[in-house]
């Protein structure tokens, strides 16, 4: 029996997987709060993650009707890039600053200058650090909390923190390390010189976690945590990884030719490659995969989070939102939205705000606003898809995951806007499943390929093919969106 945990932005999901029966037995979920302001601050308290983990874990165990003592291994998937800092006594120095925090956009510009400009950064790291990556958060912390900054003893990503909480082991894994901004994605190692430029007062040998590859375990669970969760003290913990890297495993995106799109708080699009691609458009992040290769990825910051803003304004839930979208025609009777509520990463507009175009007295309806918002977030992903095509990456079928993939109307919209067949998988929680598969990979004899074949299956009923008429309409609307984007 194995546990996969995904600490996403809006909540933590836990899946219980039965290795013998080759199936998921139960899923638990607990939401997270978020601290935000209009200057781009997006933070969480790591205590919320551990509390949500405990709650979702107990839910999943209860639903699965299993004895937790049967659990052999745990894998953790976590939202990428977030900065967690501990002092010498393992006390948190500040909240976790998240991947979607844009308050550090000026620090990112300074950081790029410090390492010699965009081209130099790309040549050193194999990737261009963006606002939202960990590096600019460290610089921001130094500026705003200089005394606490000097007390930093450990720098962690969200999944590293949860691993540390579970095991006391201070490790990270190549895929998630790729999103820090001080990791060389080509040679899979910390870029010590870049880290020195970023944080000359800190010793990278001490403050950065030790790198471990994905097929290794990092340790066994601490006795205190075993007691808290009712687990045996022999439970092993795998390295875990970034949620997109674990999503890649959980969608079988471990060989070339498979494409995953996630409609989570962020929107992401990624595909596995055997070799690091050179000459990528800079918006494509050439992250390492957690399977020995690379995972070129684009990430948009305003996906279900943008829909959620509108839902709370209109006091409606997600079902009512989908119904309203259904009640508005393609193009929302002339309304176009740029959904950049908190800046954007792709296209790179970290300081942008959202805009609504084309309102008049007849089209100003709840239904049109909802459709325009869903179309807008999807157009941002289309922008990313075009970058993939520019880079020569083919996207013949999209494996759609994340909370938004549960919406039938959104699945069809994605098929139409991307002009690509869309499929969902039998198991909804791809990142948590990917983390559980990683834990099995570490602890069982099977290869990763064999485990993916066993646990990952396409849900035939979910297949959506592009509708030709809609594709034509959306192509025109997308051109209009690009014009608005250029304004
Ligand atoms: N049927 C649905 N239609 C549209 N959005 C949905 C649906 N179900 C869930 N969502 C949205 O998915 C989001 C959560 O997705 P998830 O992938 O769990 O995010 P994260 O991992 O970033 O926390 C929520 O904002 C929720 O509103
Ligand atoms: O920043 C990125 C990828 O670079 C995001 O994809 C985060 O990893 C957050 O993921 P979700 O909470 O949306 O799953």
What are the backbone dihedrals phi and psi of residue 294, each rounded to the nearest 5 degrees, phi first?
-125, 165
Contact by Cβ (8 Å): 346, 300 = yes
Contact by Cβ (8 Å): 248, 291 = yes
Report the alpha-carbon distance of residue 473 to residue 455 in Å, rounded: 38
Contact by Cβ (8 Å): 391, 280 = yes
Q: What is the set of domains in the chain, with CATH numbers?
A: 2-243 (3.30.420.40)
Residue 81 assigned as binding residue: yes
Whole-Å CA distances, 422 to 299, 339, 372, 389, 396: 19, 23, 21, 17, 9
Contact by Cβ (8 Å): 138, 146 = no
Report the alpha-carbon distance of residue 175 to residue 173 in Å, rounded: 6
Contact by Cβ (8 Å): 206, 190 = no
The mean pLDDT values, 10 residues at a time, for the chain of 487 residues are: 98 97 97 96 98 98 97 98 98 98 97 96 95 98 98 98 98 97 98 98 98 94 98 97 98 96 98 92 96 97 97 98 98 97 94 96 98 98 97 95 97 98 96 98 95 96 97 98 93
Report the alpha-carbon distance of residue 293 to residue 314 in Å, rounded: 44
β-strand pairing of 259-263 with 267-271? antiparallel
Report the alpha-carbon distance of residue 393 to residue 376 in Å, rounded: 23
Give me ligand 2 centre to Cα 96, in Å: 14
**Which residue carries 């239904």 as its tokens?**
367
N- to C-terminal Cα separation, the chain? 54
Measured in residues, the chain has a length of 487
Give me ligand 2 centre to Cα 203, in Å: 28
Q: Which residues pair with 142 in a beta bridge?
A: none
Tell me, what's the pLDDT at 208? Answer: 98
The dihedral over CA atoms of 57, 63, 64, 65, expressed in degrees to the nearest 10, equals 110
Tell me, what's the pLDDT at 437? Answer: 98
* Residues with C-beta less than 6 Å from any ligand 1 atom: 8-11, 264-265, 304, 308, 318, 322, 402-404, 406-407, 410
Q: Which residues pair with 399 in a beta bridge?
A: 260, 423
Q: Is the pTM of this model over 0.90?
A: yes
Nearest to 290 by CA among 428, 439, 155, 164: 439
* Residues with C-beta less than 6 Å from any ligand 2 atom: 8-9, 79-81, 99, 132, 179, 242-244, 264-266, 268, 299
| Shortest-distance atom of ligand 2 to CA 402 | 14
What are the backbone dihedrals phi and psi of residue 237, each rounded to the nearest 5 degrees, phi first?
-120, 125
User: Which ipTM value was assigned to this complex?
Assistant: 0.99
Q: Residue whose CA is closest, atom 2 of ligand 1?
A: 407
Query: What is the set of active-site residues?
Result: 243
């Amino acid at each position: 029996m194995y546990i996969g945990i995904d600490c996403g932005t809006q909540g933590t999901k836990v899946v219980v997987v039965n290795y013998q029966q080759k199936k998921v037995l139960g899923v638990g979920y607990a939401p997270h709060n978020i601290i935000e302001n209009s200057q781009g601050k997006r933070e969480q308290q790591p205590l919320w993650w551990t509390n949500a983990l405990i709650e979702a874990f107990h839910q999943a165990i209860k639903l699965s009707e299993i004895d937790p003592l049967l659990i052999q291994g745990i894998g953790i998937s976590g939202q990428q890039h977030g900065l967690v800092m501990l002092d010498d006594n393992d006390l948190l120095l500040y909240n976790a600053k998240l991947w979607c925090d844009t308050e550090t956009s000026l620090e990112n510009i300074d950081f790029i200058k410090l390492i010699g400009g965009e081209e130099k950064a790309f040549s050193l790291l194999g990737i261009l650090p963006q606002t939202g990556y960990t590096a600019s958060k460290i610089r921001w912390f130094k500026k705003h909390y200089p005394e606490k900054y000097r007390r930093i003893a450990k720098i962690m990503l969200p999944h590293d923190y949860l691993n540390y909480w579970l095991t006391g082991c201070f490790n990270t894994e190549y895929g998630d390390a790729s999103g820090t901004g001080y990791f060389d994605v080509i040679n899979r190692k910390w870029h010590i010189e870049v880290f020195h430029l970023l944080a000359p007062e800190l010793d990278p040998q001490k403050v950065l976690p030790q790198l471990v590859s994905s097929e290794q375990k990092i340790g066994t669970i601490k006795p205190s945590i075993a007691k808290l969760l009712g687990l045996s003290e022999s439970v092993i913990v795998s390295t875990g990884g970034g949620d997109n890297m674990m999503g890649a495993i959980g969608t079988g995106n471990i060989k070339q030719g498979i494409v995953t799109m996630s409609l989570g708080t962020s929107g992401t699009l990624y595909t596995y490659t055997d070799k690091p691609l050179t000459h990528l458009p800079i918006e494509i992040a050439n992250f390492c995969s957690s399977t020995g290769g690379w995972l070129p990825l684009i990430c948009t910051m305003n996906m279900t989070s943008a829909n959620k803003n509108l839902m709370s304004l209109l006091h409606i839930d997600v079902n009512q939102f989908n119904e309203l979208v259904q009640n508005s025609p393609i193009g929302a009777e002339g309304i176009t939205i740029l959904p950049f509520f908190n800046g954007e990463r792709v296209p790179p507009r970290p300081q942008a705000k959202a805009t609504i175009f084309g309102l008049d007295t007849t089209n100003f309806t709840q239904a049109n606003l909802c459709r325009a918002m869903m179309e807008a977030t999807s157009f941002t992903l289309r922008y990313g898809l075009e970058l993939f095509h520019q880079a020569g990456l083919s996207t013949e079928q999209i494996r759609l995951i994340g909370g938004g993939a549960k919406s039938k109307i959104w699945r069809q919209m994605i098929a139409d806007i991307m002009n690509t067949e869309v499929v969902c998988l039998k198991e909804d929680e791809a990142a948590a499943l990917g983390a559980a598969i990683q834990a099995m990979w570490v602890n069982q004899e099977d290869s990763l390929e064999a485990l993916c074949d066993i646990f990952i299956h396409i849900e035939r009923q979910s297949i959506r093919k592009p509708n030709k008429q809609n594709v034509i309409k959306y192509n025109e609307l997308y051109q209009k969106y690009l014009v608005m984007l250029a304004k």
